[in-house]
Homo-oligomer: A and B are copies of this chain.
Amino acid sequence: MNGRCGRKAQGWRGLGCGRRMTAPREAIYQALSEMAGHPSADEVFQKVRAGRPGIGLATVYRNLELLRNGGHIRLVDAGDGKAHFELNHAAGGGGHHHHLICRRCGSVVDYMDFEREELELISKLEKHLSRKYGHQITDHDISFYGLCQKCAAQGSKR
Protein backbone atom coordinates (compact mmCIF):
# COMPACT_ATOMS: atom_id res chain seq x y z
CA MET A 1 0.00 0.00 0.00
CA ASN A 2 1.43 3.16 -1.28
CA GLY A 3 -1.10 5.45 0.18
CA ARG A 4 0.25 5.92 3.66
CA CYS A 5 -0.65 9.46 2.93
CA GLY A 6 -2.02 10.96 -0.22
CA ARG A 7 1.12 12.97 -0.78
CA LYS A 8 0.91 15.89 1.57
CA ALA A 9 3.00 16.78 4.56
CA GLN A 10 0.07 15.78 6.75
CA GLY A 11 1.00 17.33 10.08
CA TRP A 12 4.06 16.45 12.16
CA ARG A 13 3.74 12.74 12.45
CA GLY A 14 3.61 11.62 8.83
CA LEU A 15 6.49 10.52 6.68
CA GLY A 16 7.31 14.13 6.02
CA CYS A 17 8.42 14.42 9.61
CA GLY A 18 7.07 17.93 9.67
CA ARG A 19 8.88 18.88 6.51
CA ARG A 20 7.72 19.01 2.95
CA MET A 21 6.54 15.72 1.58
CA THR A 22 8.65 14.86 -1.44
CA ALA A 23 8.64 12.02 -3.91
CA PRO A 24 12.24 11.01 -3.18
CA ARG A 25 11.49 10.84 0.53
CA GLU A 26 8.52 8.62 -0.06
CA ALA A 27 10.49 6.44 -2.46
CA ILE A 28 13.25 5.98 0.09
CA TYR A 29 10.88 4.91 2.82
CA GLN A 30 9.06 2.70 0.36
CA ALA A 31 12.29 1.05 -0.75
CA LEU A 32 13.39 0.36 2.79
CA SER A 33 10.01 -1.08 3.65
CA GLU A 34 10.30 -3.51 0.76
CA MET A 35 13.77 -4.69 1.65
CA ALA A 36 14.44 -7.64 3.89
CA GLY A 37 16.94 -7.50 6.67
CA HIS A 38 18.96 -4.44 7.52
CA PRO A 39 20.17 -2.71 4.37
CA SER A 40 22.95 -0.16 4.46
CA ALA A 41 22.48 3.36 3.16
CA ASP A 42 24.13 2.38 -0.09
CA GLU A 43 21.90 -0.65 -0.52
CA VAL A 44 18.86 1.53 -0.05
CA PHE A 45 20.35 3.91 -2.59
CA GLN A 46 20.75 1.12 -5.15
CA LYS A 47 17.21 -0.05 -4.60
CA VAL A 48 15.68 3.41 -4.94
CA ARG A 49 17.83 4.08 -7.95
CA ALA A 50 16.27 1.11 -9.71
CA GLY A 51 12.89 2.82 -9.92
CA ARG A 52 14.21 6.36 -9.91
CA PRO A 53 17.51 6.61 -11.76
CA GLY A 54 18.08 10.27 -10.97
CA ILE A 55 18.17 9.89 -7.19
CA GLY A 56 21.27 11.20 -5.44
CA LEU A 57 23.17 9.41 -2.74
CA ALA A 58 23.17 12.48 -0.53
CA THR A 59 19.40 12.57 -0.68
CA VAL A 60 19.26 9.04 0.60
CA TYR A 61 21.51 9.87 3.51
CA ARG A 62 19.60 13.02 4.30
CA ASN A 63 16.27 11.27 4.32
CA LEU A 64 17.38 8.25 6.25
CA GLU A 65 18.59 10.66 8.91
CA LEU A 66 15.35 12.55 8.77
CA LEU A 67 13.22 9.44 8.97
CA ARG A 68 15.30 8.25 11.88
CA ASN A 69 14.81 11.48 13.77
CA GLY A 70 11.14 11.21 13.01
CA GLY A 71 11.09 7.77 14.56
CA HIS A 72 10.00 6.01 11.38
CA ILE A 73 13.13 3.99 10.93
CA ARG A 74 15.83 2.71 13.18
CA LEU A 75 19.58 2.42 12.92
CA VAL A 76 21.31 -0.92 13.38
CA ASP A 77 24.99 -1.23 14.09
CA ALA A 78 26.28 -4.40 12.48
CA GLY A 79 29.82 -3.54 13.41
CA ASP A 80 31.00 -3.29 9.82
CA GLY A 81 31.47 0.45 9.85
CA LYS A 82 28.36 1.17 7.85
CA ALA A 83 25.01 2.32 9.10
CA HIS A 84 22.20 -0.17 8.57
CA PHE A 85 18.52 0.59 8.74
CA GLU A 86 15.23 -1.09 9.40
CA LEU A 87 11.64 0.01 9.74
CA ASN A 88 10.71 1.00 13.24
CA HIS A 89 7.70 -1.07 14.11
CA ALA A 90 8.31 -0.45 17.77
CA ALA A 91 5.71 2.22 18.13
CA GLY A 92 3.06 0.41 16.14
CA GLY A 93 3.73 -2.72 18.11
CA GLY A 94 4.13 -4.51 14.82
CA GLY A 95 7.42 -6.30 14.85
CA HIS A 96 9.75 -4.97 17.46
CA HIS A 97 12.76 -7.17 17.93
CA HIS A 98 16.32 -7.29 19.11
CA HIS A 99 19.49 -8.47 17.44
CA LEU A 100 21.93 -11.32 17.43
CA ILE A 101 25.07 -10.18 15.64
CA CYS A 102 28.04 -12.16 14.39
CA ARG A 103 31.37 -10.52 15.10
CA ARG A 104 33.06 -12.35 12.27
CA CYS A 105 30.73 -12.20 9.27
CA GLY A 106 28.51 -9.35 10.41
CA SER A 107 25.28 -11.25 9.90
CA VAL A 108 22.33 -10.02 11.91
CA VAL A 109 19.51 -12.21 13.16
CA ASP A 110 16.36 -10.63 14.47
CA TYR A 111 14.74 -12.34 17.37
CA MET A 112 11.45 -11.82 19.10
CA ASP A 113 11.84 -14.50 21.69
CA PHE A 114 11.58 -12.17 24.58
CA GLU A 115 8.29 -12.64 26.24
CA ARG A 116 6.35 -10.16 28.28
CA GLU A 117 9.12 -10.39 30.84
CA GLU A 118 11.66 -8.62 28.69
CA LEU A 119 9.29 -5.91 27.60
CA GLU A 120 8.27 -5.27 31.16
CA LEU A 121 11.82 -4.97 32.35
CA ILE A 122 12.65 -2.60 29.54
CA SER A 123 9.83 -0.23 30.22
CA LYS A 124 10.55 -0.35 33.92
CA LEU A 125 14.20 0.45 33.29
CA GLU A 126 13.31 3.18 30.87
CA LYS A 127 11.12 4.87 33.42
CA HIS A 128 13.67 4.49 36.18
CA LEU A 129 16.60 5.81 34.14
CA SER A 130 14.52 8.58 32.76
CA ARG A 131 13.73 9.80 36.24
CA LYS A 132 17.17 9.29 37.70
CA TYR A 133 19.30 10.83 34.95
CA GLY A 134 16.85 13.22 33.42
CA HIS A 135 17.21 11.65 30.01
CA GLN A 136 14.38 11.72 27.54
CA ILE A 137 14.52 8.14 26.30
CA THR A 138 13.06 7.47 22.89
CA ASP A 139 14.69 4.29 21.85
CA HIS A 140 16.77 1.35 22.91
CA ASP A 141 19.04 -1.23 21.47
CA ILE A 142 19.58 -4.69 22.83
CA SER A 143 22.07 -6.81 20.96
CA PHE A 144 23.94 -9.98 21.67
CA TYR A 145 27.31 -10.44 20.03
CA GLY A 146 29.33 -13.50 19.28
CA LEU A 147 29.77 -15.98 16.49
CA CYS A 148 26.95 -17.28 14.35
CA GLN A 149 26.58 -21.00 13.90
CA LYS A 150 28.46 -21.02 10.63
CA CYS A 151 31.39 -18.93 11.84
CA ALA A 152 31.62 -20.81 15.11
CA ALA A 153 31.83 -24.06 13.16
CA GLN A 154 34.80 -22.76 11.20
CA GLY A 155 36.76 -22.88 14.40
CA SER A 156 38.33 -19.91 16.05
CA LYS A 157 41.40 -19.90 13.87
CA ARG A 158 42.84 -16.58 12.82
Contacts and interface: CB of A to CB of B under 8 A. Distances in A.
Nearest to A139: B145
Interface residues of A, number: 37
Contacts of A145: 137-141
Contacts of A118: 121, 125
Contacts of A103: 69, 138-139
A148 interface: yes
Interface string A56-97: 000000000000010000010101000000000000000000
Contact of A140 (B79, B102, B143, B148): B143
Given A134-B152, A135-B149, 19 more contacts: A75-B79, A77-B77, A100-B129, A100-B137, A102-B135, A113-B129, A114-B125, A117-B121, A118-B125, A125-B144, A129-B144, A133-B148, A134-B148, A138-B147, A139-B144, A140-B142, A140-B144, A141-B142, A141-B143
23 contacts: A75-B79, A77-B77, A100-B129, A100-B133, A103-B138, A103-B139, A109-B133, A109-B135, A113-B125, A117-B121, A118-B121, A133-B148, A133-B149, A134-B148, A134-B149, A134-B152, A135-B147, A135-B149, A136-B147, A137-B144, A140-B144, A141-B143, A142-B142
